[in-house]
Amino acid sequence: MTMNNIILAEKQVMYDTFLSKYREAQMKIVIANDHGAVSLKKEILAYLYAQGYDVTNLGVDAETSVDYPDMAEKAADEFLKGGYDFGILLCGTGIGISISANKIRGIRCALPQNRFAAEMSKAHNNANFLAFGGRIVYEDSVADMIETFVKTSFEGGRHAGRIEKMMALEGKC
């Protein structure tokens, strides 16, 4: 390689890195929480804003009791209007709010326990929501799990057919 080719290759890498960061910074995320995850939501918002993400916060900021199904519905309805890359839901354990969200047509909410689960929720399940618990102590930080989810692409292929089958279950019963 000539020196000019090396310089051009280095510039291309720098440009690709810039574009990748720019595209990530343009992500639009909806977040909602109940009273069991106020502190966790504040931590997540700090992380998301530091990444330059556009965040719509529909959650509560006080520990006065609210019902997680209402918060899941509020965030899912907003997400389904369009324009969002994904959503984040939070309650005490993440369990109740994720179950509630998964009752809503078009929502695939994952409850990752670590970075691997966050990666697979996107790569294999094409999740459009993540749920976390404010009273859960995680092995990996929630910010690391979100970052892993964001950087992972849906693999498609055999997983796309499984997603179709999964979503077809919404019409059952």
Give the pLDDT confidence of 72-112 residue by residue, as tens digits. Answer: 999 999 999 999 999 999 999 999 999 999 999 999 999 99
- Which tokens in the block code for residue 156? 């498609």
Q: Distance between CA 154 and CA 125 in Å, rounded?
A: 8
| Structural element, H or E, at residue 38 | helix 38-50
Model's pTM, two decimal places? 0.85
Residue whose C-alpha is closest to residue 96's, from 144, 33, 44, 148: 33
Task: Label residues 50-70 b or e (16+ Cβ within 10 Å = b).
Answer: ebebebbbbbbeeeeebebbe
Q: What pLDDT, on a 0 to 100 scale, did the predictor assign at position 60?
A: 97
CB 42 within 8 A of CB 62: no
State pLDDT tens for residues 22-70.
545 589 999 999 999 999 999 999 999 999 999 999 999 999 999 999 9
Catalytic positions, written as ranges: 91, 124
Q: How confident is the model over 144-151, as a mean pLDDT?
A: 98
